[in-house]
Amino acid sequence: MIPLSGRRLTLLTAALLSIGIGAAYSNSLSVGFEFDDVYLLTNNPSIRSLRNIPRFFYDPFTLTTVRENADLRPVLQITYALNHAISGLRPWSYHAVNMVLHLVAALLVFRIVRDHLWPGPALVPAAAALFFALAPLNSQTLDYMSARSALLCTTLYLAAFWCVLRRRQWPAALLHALALLTKAIAVTLPAVIVAYDFLYRDRARCPTVLGYVRDWRRVVRLVLAPVVLDLAYLLYRRLLLPPWVSETFHQSFTTPWLWFMSEWSAQLYYVRLFLWPDALSIDHDFPYAFSFFQARAWLALCVIVAWIAVALRSAARRPLVAFATVWFFITLAPESSFAPLAEVVNDHRPYIASSLGLSVLLAWLIHEASSRLRERQQPAFVLACLVLCAVTIPITRHRNWQWQDSVRLWTDAAEKGPGNGRAWMNAGLALMARGQLAEARRHFERARASNPGYAYVYMNISVLEAHEGHLDAALRAADEAVRLNPGLAPAHYYRGRVLEKVGRTEEAAAAYEQALAIDPRHLEASNALARLTPNGASGAEALMQSGLDALYAQRKPEEAAAYFRKVLDRNPTHYGATYQLAEALDASGHGDEAQRLWATVLQMAEGYGDQTTAATARARLQAKR
C-alpha cells in the first residue's frame, strides 16, 4: 500500500469529498421548495430584494410569512436573498450553495481531526470527513432549503472552532458572530472550547481536574470572546423578538421536563439513523415520553449515562472518543435538552452533532477493529471505509429522488408514521395541487382521523370543499378550524373566504379583520379586506398595509403608489398615506409629483410637531433643487 500522508492525503481527501458529494447529490439540483420553504422562500417578499438586507437584522417578521415562526436569522436570510437574485425561485442555485457549504464543512472536519484531535494515522480524519459528507442522515440538510440554517451555522461554527484551535481570535470571533446570526445553536461554542481544552490539556501541568480549574486565567482567555458574543446575542434576541415567540415553537402541552425526557430516546434515535438510515422522513411521528418510568425514558437515559461515563473514563488514553462524545451531546443541547420545539425528532437537527461527533466515533471504531489485523490494518481500514461510503451514495440519491416530488415525499412520511396527521394532510395538499381531489380527500380524512384536533386539517378540508362547490361543508370545516385554534390568523382568513363566496360579506370582512388583528402582516387578509371595504376605516388600514408591503417588501413602488392613492381618495388629509405616496413616487422616478407631496408632508409635519418627518421632508425638497 502506498503511504498516504501530508499534502498528498489532503488533496486526495478533498478530491474524494468533491466526487462523493457530487455523486450523492447531483440529482438534488431539481428538488423544489417544500413544507416551511413556502413561507421562508416561495411566498416571502422580503428575500426578493437585496435592499431588504438591513431589515433582516432587526425585523424578525421578515424571516417567514408565518407570524408564529418569527425569528432573527439575518445571515441565513442574506444567503436566501442572494440566491433569489441569482436564480429567482429556480432551485438550482440554492442547492449548489448547499453542496459547496457541505463540502467546506467536511473539509473542516478533516482538518480539525487531523491537526488537533487525532495523533495517529491521517486516514482516520479522512474517513471521518467522508462519513460526515456522505451520511444519508445529512441529506435533508441539503435537500430541504429551510434546513440551510443547520448547514450554514455548522459550517461557520466549525470554522470558528478551527480558528480558536489555531489561536486566531479575531477571525474566530467574526465567524462565531455569523454563526449566531444564522441559528441559535451556535451558543454552545464556549462549552465545546472548554471541553477540548480540558480533554487535550497538558497533563504534566494540569494532571487533575482541580489543577485545571486553578489554571482558570488561561481558560478565561480562550472563552472570553465567545461568551461575550453569546451574551450580546441573547440580549439582541431579547430586545427584538416578541416575548410570545418562544411559546409558539412547541406544542401547548410540552413542558421543559417532558421535552428533556423525550429527547433521551431521540438522541439515541439519531445514532440509529446515522448508522442505519431506513426511517428518514421529512416529518417523524416520534412519540413523547410522558413519564420517567416509561422504558423509552429511563432506559435511554441509562444508555446515555453509560456511554458518557465510559468515554470520560477513557479520556486520558482516548481523548478523541471522549471529545467526540461530548461534542455530540453539547451541540445537540440547544434543541435536545430543555427548550421545547415543534418536533421531538428532526432529520437535520443532528447535522452539527454528526460532524465531529458520530462521524469521528465511527472512523475510530473501524480503526480499532482493523487494528487487530496488524500488518493488514491499513488496507482493511481503507476497504471498510470505501465500502461504507459506496453504500451510502445510492441511499442518498434515492432520498433525493423522494424529495423531487411532493406526493412521494409526503406519502413516504405518512407510510413511515401512520399516525402522523400532518404528513397525511401535506400529502393531501400535494395531491390537491395536482387536481387529484378524490385522493386528496382520502388523505385529509386520514389526517383528521389521526389528529382530530389539528386546525390546519380543517382549513384544507374547507379549501377542498369550496373548490368542489360544497360551500356549507366548507364553512363547517372553516368554523371548526377557528374553534380549534382561535389564535391562528389563517384559520380566520379561510373562514372569510368561504363567507365571501356564500355572499355574507359583512361576516367575511369581520373574519379578515380578525386575521389582521392576530397577524397585521397577513397580506392575503389585508388585500381581501381592502376589496370588501374600500370606503371604511378598516379598508383604509388594509390598503395602507398592502401599500407598505408593496413598497418595502416587494419593492414595487408603482403598485404601492396605487394603494396610497386609494387611501387619499377616501381621506385626502391622511398623514401616513401622504408621506408614503411621496416615498413611492420618489422610488418610481416621479420626482416632480413627489416634490409637491413632500411640500405637503412638511406642512403637515410642522403642524403635528413631528420634527423627524419634517427634517426628512426638508432634506428631500433640498435634494431636488
- Report, as ranges of residue numbers, the positions in the chain whose pLDDT lies below 50: 1-2
- Identify the pLDDT of residue 534: 62
The cell for 431 is 395531491
pLDDT the model gives residue 624: 60
By CB neighbour count within 10 A (0-12 exposed, 13-18 middle, 19+ buried), where does 353 fall?
buried
Name the superfamily (CATH) of residues 549-625. Tetratricopeptide repeat domain (1.25.40.10)
The predicted-structure confidence for 237-262, as pLDDT tens digits, reads as follows 999 998 877 777 777 788 999 999 99
CA quadruple 91, 95, 97, 102: dihedral, nearest 10 = 170
The model's pLDDT over 206-230, given as tens digits with 9 standing for 90+, comes to 877 888 888 778 888 889 999 999 9
- Quick check: helix, strand or coil at residue 183? coil
109 and 358 Cβ atoms separated by less than 8 Å:
no
Q: What is the pLDDT of residue 538?
A: 58
pLDDT at 258: 95
Q: What share of the chain is helix, strand, coil (3-state, %, to 5)?
A: 75, 0, 25
Summarised one tens digit per residue, pLDDT across range 42-53 is: 988 889 889 899
Amino acid at position 188, single letter: T
Rounded distance between C-alpha atoms, residue 68 and residue 368, angstroms = 48
The pLDDT score that the predictor gives to residue 1 is: 43
Residues of the chain with CATH 1.25.40.10: 549-625
Q: How many degrees, rounded to 5, is the angle at CA 139 between CA 137 and CA 143?
A: 150
